[in-house]
Amino acid sequence: MKIVVIGGTGLIGSKLVNELREHGHEAIAASPSSGVNSLTGEGLADALKGASVVVDVTNSPSWEDAAVLTFFETSTRNLLAHEAAAGVGHHVALSVVGTERLLESGFFRAKMAQENLIKGSPVPYSIVRATQFFEFVKNIADFSTDGNTVRLPPVLIQPMAADDVASAVGRVAMGSPVNGTVEVGGPERFRLDELIRLGLTTRNDPREVIADPQARYFGILVSETTLIPGDETRLSETRFENWLTQGARPIHNPDVQQVKAQRR
Ligand SMILES: NC(=O)c1ccc[n+]([C@@H]2O[C@H](COP(=O)([O-])OP(=O)(O)OC[C@H]3O[C@@H](n4cnc5c(N)ncnc54)[C@H](OP(=O)(O)O)[C@@H]3O)[C@@H](O)[C@H]2O)c1
């Protein structure tokens, strides 16, 4: 199958393109650096010609409330319109577990808008909701850092490796549309403060992590189970401690290497 990965140069996208190619598919890594822009529509018609599946693993360059909403709404509308015109039979999008419980944040309001546009479109679809990536641990810490201190609520979190997210999205993309949502999550639950402490300590980061029930997660008030996936979740294999000691698999996507070389 020809499978176009919009955001195919990103963290998940580049791994996904490899995965799909390993399974013998013609996977196209599409992004602004390769002349395909889902926000402006540039290059979409050409990229989607003859495609069976489009996977959206883009992210907005800005997380400011209005900018992120414009990004996901406009980009999703453009993709779905071009897919309908090109006869694409499956739209797959990556979203986040618990999105409807995180709407205090503009980023998650934008992800919710993205999901709703997909559900309202005639293009058959699958939405994959993943939990937080292991690779995201430092971002969580950085957002909640004040001086040498990181304050986080001790709520539950069930993170997973980006490699496993890409595999899960790939399996869905290679299958039939579910016209619904699939949740994927990591094999273990942690307390948020415990996870971040483990991640920082392993990397010799001197910041002190404090469990503070009043602290917020990215500015959002969260409860014990806000970030946790439901009972039907497909669990991934990689454990955080193994990932920390072994490191993530290197990216071998030739498109990405080429783009990076061009940027140098
Ligand atoms: N972080 C988490 O823990 C987490 C958890 C669950 C789900 N997610 C979701 O996973 C998705 C992918 O995240 P990621 O970390 O892999 O993202 P990322 O590494 O930031 O990659 C973003 C990709 O989007 C592309 N892009 C940006 N603007 C574009 C445009 N106008 N048109 C086409 N492509 C565009 C980028 O292309 P260039 O390289 O050319 O700029 C890049 O390929 C996001 O939607 C996020 O919400 C994240």
- Which residues are CB-contacts of 230 (< 8 A; sequence separation ≥ 6)? 183
Instruction: Please give the average per-residue pLDDT across 167-179, as a whole number.
Output: 98
90 CA → ligand 1 middle, Å: 19
- The pLDDT assigned to 102 comes to 97
137 and 205 Cβ atoms separated by less than 8 Å: no
What share of the chain has pLDDT > 90, as a percent? 92
- pLDDT, the chain, mean: 93
Which protein residue has the closest C-alpha to ligand 1 atom 25?
7
Which protein residue has the closest C-alpha to ligand 1 atom 45?
59
Instruction: Please give the average per-residue pLDDT across 111-123, as a whole number.
Output: 98
Instruction: Please give the average per-residue pLDDT across 133-138, as a whole number.
Output: 96
79 CA → ligand 1 middle, Å: 15
Query: What does pTM read for this prediction?
Result: 0.93
Q: Which atom of ligand 1 is nearest to the CA of 107?
A: 47
209-227 confidence digits (pLDDT tens): 999 999 999 999 999 999 9
- The pLDDT assigned to 261 comes to 31
- The pLDDT assigned to 247 comes to 66
Local structure of 67: helix, strand or coil: helix
